[in-house]
Amino acid sequence: MYFCYILFSNDLDKYYVGHCQAPIEQRLQKHLTNHKGFTGKAKDWIVVHLEAFDTKGDAFARERYIKAQKSRAYIESLLS
């Protein structure tokens, strides 16, 4: 099982879109660790949206689609 997920940080007031193989909890822990990437800037990321897929390609395609929208409004529409 693969997932496309959206994280949110209150500290940054930003969303992050990614994809991973299950379990999502382990991936979230990696985002919360101290690293140089974008999500390393905050320690309060939470999963706000999750979609399951049978293949990695489908999960990645969904991630790319969401990112291609370049729209916070689009992401927030998915959450409502």
pLDDT tens digits, residue range 22-76? Answer: 899 999 999 999 999 999 999 999 999 999 999 999 999 999 999 999 999 999 9
Here the tokens at position 8 are 């949110």
Could you give the 3-state DSSP secondary structure of residue 22?
coil
Helices 72-79 & 56-68 angle (0-180, nearest 10): 120
CATH assignment of 2-79, given 3.40.50.300, 3.40.1440.10, 3.10.20.70, 3.40.1160.10? 3.40.1440.10
In the structure encoding, which two tokens stand for residue 40, read together? 């390393």
The pLDDT, as a whole number, for residue 22 is: 82
State the average pLDDT over residues 5-11: 98
Q: Given this model, what pLDDT does residue 29 score?
A: 96
pLDDT of amino acid 20 = 98
